[in-house]
Amino acid sequence: MSSKTILITGANGGIGLATTKLFLEKGYTVFAHYFRSDDNLRALNHEKLEMIQSDLSQSENVEKVFSQCMDKCKKLDVLFNNAGTMSISESIESIKEEDFDYVLNVNLKASFLLSQFALKHMKESAGGRIINISSIGVKYGGNPISAHYTISKAAVEAMTISFAKSGAPYNVLVNAIRAGLTDTDFLKLNPNKNIEKRIDLIPLKRLADPNEIASSVYFLASEESAYISGSILTVAGGE
């Protein structure tokens, strides 16, 4: 069993919760960030689970999350930037500036700042892993009514490659998972999406289970991926 540590943002539901459960099973100490509700995390009732509440849309809170984590552990082995949000507009022209800013702050800026803190720490502690979550929407340009979401994820992929280059000399491996449609509550945020029609476009003809994405996170955190950095791993049922 591992004695390593991981910080997971957006850990109370969907992919974040599945990843939290898996890493706890593997013996990790998990620092689980959540925004509003912590009900699913509390239900785990695990001795190696540490919960951190914060609104990551405010940049001053991001450093506090990292500091709270580091106050309780000497070494952070893995950062999983999973927290995300989106909003839906009637058209790309009607996306409000405040909505654009909010989505980019949570999906991109918070991940960037946490990655900065983690990279500095991991360079000093001889290595680590940073794993980001992207979306299959980047491949297709996404939906115009949620263009700011897809833009944020495209930027996350570019950010991943930049951090991988910076981390490589210090054995800090940085990768992203380009997740396909996954069976989570997040998928339901777009009330206009015809899920069945969208599933039909997926070669495997089904949604991803959150546990399948979590398994990919664990692979990128494990020694089996020791020669992988700067990669965008697509887990999208063949898309």
* DSSP letter assigned to residue 203: T
Question: What does the pLDDT average to over 219-239?
Answer: 98
User: Could you tell me what percent of the chain has a pLDDT over 90?
Assistant: 90
In this predicted structure, what is the pLDDT of residue 194?
81
Question: Tokens standing for 102?
Answer: 């909010």
pLDDT over threshold 70, residue 1: no
Cα-Cα-Cα-Cα torsion 41, 43, 47, 53, nearest 10 degrees, comes to 30
Which residue, among 235, 199, 216, 214, has the nearest Cα to 13 in the 3D structure? Answer: 214
Give the type of residue at 178. Answer: R
Alpha carbon of 7 to those of 26, 30, 31: distances in Å? 14, 6, 5
pLDDT over threshold 80, residue 6: yes
In this predicted structure, what is the pLDDT of residue 28?
97
pLDDT over threshold 70, residue 104: yes
In this predicted structure, what is the pLDDT of residue 185?
85
CB atoms within 10 A of CB 185: 8
Could you say which of 34, 102, 140, 149 is catalytic?
A: 149
**Is residue 149 annotated as a catalytic residue, yes or no?**
yes
Alpha carbon of 77 to those of 43, 69, 131, 152: distances in Å? 25, 12, 11, 25
CA gap 118, 111 in Å, rounded = 10
Question: What does the pLDDT average to over 146-172?
Answer: 98
In this predicted structure, what is the pLDDT of residue 190?
66
pLDDT over threshold 80, residue 124: yes
Q: Which domains does the chain have, with CATH numbers?
A: 5-235 (3.40.50.720)
pLDDT over threshold 90, residue 22: yes
Per DSSP, which regions of the chain are E strands?
A: 5-8, 29-34, 49-53, 78-81, 128-135, 172-179, 232-235
pLDDT over threshold 90, residue 4: yes
In this predicted structure, what is the pLDDT of residue 191?
64
Q: Which residues contact 133 (CB under 8 A, 6 or more apart)?
A: 15, 80, 81, 82, 84, 156, 176, 177, 179, 213
- The predicted-structure confidence for 42-99, as pLDDT tens digits, reads as follows 999 999 999 999 999 999 999 999 999 999 998 999 999 999 999 999 999 999 999 9
pLDDT over threshold 80, residue 125: yes
